[in-house]
Structure 1
Amino acid sequence: MKKKQPLVTVFMAAYNAERYIAEAIKSILNQTFTDYELLIANDGSTDKTLEIINNFQDKRIRIISNDTNRGLLYTRNVALKEAKGKLIAIMDSDDFSLPDRLLVQVTAFKKDPSLALYGGQAKVIDEDGKEIGIIQESETCPELLKIKLLFQNTFVHSSMMIRTAVFKEMGGYQEPFAEDYDLFLRIAHRYRVANSKEFIVLYRSHGDNVSNTVGEKIMQQLLPIKGKLLARLGYVPDPDFEKILTNPYIWPDVPVEKYKILYTSLIIQNRRSHILNPALLENYIFQKWYEVIMMKGGINTVVLFFSNPIFQRELATFKQVRKTFKRSIKKLFIRK
């Protein structure tokens, strides 16, 4: 009899993860949802990672070992060929999935056939597993999530579940260092994405996190990713536009006029296409615009504040108006 394929493949990439991987594995084996396989890709570890994995005698665990260290991008894409489940749950080897994590996500996919990508909330733990905070980036309103995703990553990578067919259609991870954000952007451009309101993972913060060790390289990679995003939206290449959509968002070398051009274009283009919720997008851009002109508007701050179509009369507060007047007057006297 042909063996029944699991509904979910939990995929874990591991390299020299001896300190935390046992906890990560246990958190998956203790899930309340049980129709899954745990696929672990060992990326040529030189410590006791493989030995620790082999100590777990569970038929749901399947191990793939690279002959040498191939890097995170290559190893994460092992799931493209090896995943047997219709859904892929991402699990980083230093994080921890809460017991109902898979159940919460599978339930969401069963309820919504259009859903392609589903994450959740994460609490931050330190090296010893002590809770030290909450990741605040996981927007739960699907419409607002897509808007924020233009500017920043609104998902916790280790909380993600993706339809396997969509993951393969996208060609998996493609960009080094910011590969997760790039993948999420490509999926969100075509499909419905969302985040659960529930806490489903514990994200471990420590000195060896990729975001800590290659932060500058991630920053260098984000601008080209934003360039490809803008190209998908129909824009010609423009380094200033790439920066406007990238943290720290308010760049000293980007003139305020370029912000106005891009923000105006996004609003007008979306009013025609309705790809994003117009009201939410225009609210979000208006708040961004206010921050920009307060930093870069100079004596023209108050005039720029009322720029159409960015200005939103129903959203503007008396406090904002007062501050723009004060900023313009202050800069005028400084100039004199």
Structure 2
Amino acid sequence: MLTNEISVIIPVYNGENTIKETIKSVLNQTFTNFELIIINANSIDNTLSIISQIKDERIKVFSYPQANVAVNRNRGINHATGNYITFLDADDLWTTDKLAAQYTALQSNQAGVAYSWTNCIDENGKFLRKTSHVNWTGNVYSKLLLDDFIGNGSNVMIRRDILIKVNGFDEILTNAQDTDMWLKLSAITDFICVPKAQVLYRIQPSSMSSNVLGLEKSNLEVIQRAFAREQAKSHQHLKPKAIGNLYKYLCYKVLATPPGKQQSKVAARFLLTAIKTDTGLLFKPVIFKAILKLIAMVILPPNWANVLFKKLPRLSNTSTFLGYEKTI
């Protein structure tokens, strides 16, 4: 029996709505020499039943008690036999050439990590927006200090020997485990880019109400760790920009929360911190949009606010915060 060249790891918990499509996006890859390791974290819906209906000898399912995504990815790594390892969240998708392109890139380069570009889709698979379509290769540590341009955990392919050196994902972090991992990897190896949108990152409505305070705490911890490494010794001047970028992202995240569920005081604090770390924001339209949107969510009933935002979609879209993140 041939050794699998690539191990694909999918952690899943109650993923009945998307897991079939996600698995199909792996099985439809033009590169076929892979194993698909599914880590089921005690799903209580029809996830396992749906998986069992998909017949392919490359699929291996392991069930464990519920745990965070870092724990489940590490469980998958422990089962992996491939020379290259890649991860896919249970609601994201790949284009059919994702594995082939990243594998070829690593085969023709000494880099330890390959990444592609990402597009965001909604719960129905409809295109929403591009993410950071950059083409940074080689030593990217200073770039990652400012911005997680990888964008999500469904992206990279990593040489197995390199991944083993960094001891997996940090299971203590409640958020930002991906960013922490990319920084650890970039401290010891080069990255190479496949300049094509090959990852479809699904944004679910429920994800908009995620724990922004947890995001803040974990990301600040990751920033502190990153700037404490030897690789950041000559880049300390970037730290204020890194913190500023974090609060621009947090502003976008907290203001994407549905009306009625917003954390108004937290949103106001994030806005003030973002302005404090980048006073140039005071002259950008996004600040006025953000303030108006927050006021509308505070003073209007949720259904009225929803109607207003649907009639004025440019007001409700504050994703332009991400466009003001500093990358140099």
Instruction: Say whether the fold is shared (TM-score over 0.5).
Output: yes
Shift of 1:207: 2.3
Matching residue of 2:310? none
Matching residue of 1:63? 61
4+ aligned runs moved over 4 Å, structure 1:
239-244, 291-296
- Determine which of 105, 116, 127 is the counterpart of 2:112: 116
Q: How many matched pairs?
A: 249
Matching residue of 1:265? none
Shift of 1:131: 1.2
Give the whole-Å Cα distance in 1 for the aligned partners of 2:125 and 2:240: 36
Give the whole-Å Cα distance in 1 for the aligned partners of 2:220 and 2:125: 34
Is 1:50 matched with 2:41? no
Matching residue of 1:146? 141
Matching residue of 1:323? none
Is 1:102 matched with 2:119? no
Matching residue of 1:168? 164
Give the whole-Å Cα distance in 1 for the aligned partners of 2:280 and 2:71: 44
Unmatched 5+ stretches in structure 2: 249-276, 283-328
- Identity %, equivalent residues: 27
Greater mean deviation of Cα atoms: 86-95 or 137-146: 137-146
Is 1:224 matched with 2:213? no
Contact in 2 for aligned 1:91/1:159 (Cα 8 Å): yes
Distance change (3 Å), C-alpha of 1:47 and 1:249: closer
Q: Which amino acid aligns with 2:40?
A: N
Compare CA radii of gyration and give the structure with the larger one.
1
Q: Which amino acid aligns with 1:159?
A: N
Distance change (3 Å), C-alpha of 1:61 and 1:223: same
Contact in 2 for aligned 1:151/1:247 (Cα 8 Å): no
Structure 1, residues 23-55: CA drift from partner, whole Å, max 9, x if none? 000010011100001100001111111111111
Shift of 1:249: 6.3
Give the whole-Å Cα distance in 1 for the aligned partners of 2:116 and 2:280: 34
Matching residue of 1:203? 201
Contact in 1 for aligned 2:116/2:193 (Cα 8 Å): yes
Structure 1, residues 60-113: CA drift from partner, whole Å, max 9, x if none? 0000110x212222111112311110101111110111011111011001101x
Give the whole-Å Cα distance in 2 for the aligned partners of 1:250 and 1:7: 40
Query: In structure 2, the residue corresponding to 1:190 is in which secondary structure?
Result: coil
The TM-score with structure 2 as length reference comes to 0.70
- Determine which of 85, 88, 91 is the counterpart of 2:88: 91
Contact in 1 for aligned 2:115/2:157 (Cα 8 Å): yes
Q: Which amino acid aligns with 1:183?
A: M
Structure 1, residues 101-158: CA drift from partner, whole Å, max 9, x if none? 111011001101x2111111112111111112211x2421225843321112110321
Unmatched 5+ stretches in structure 1: 252-290, 297-336
Contact in 1 for aligned 2:119/2:200 (Cα 8 Å): yes
Aligned-CA RMSD value: 2.6
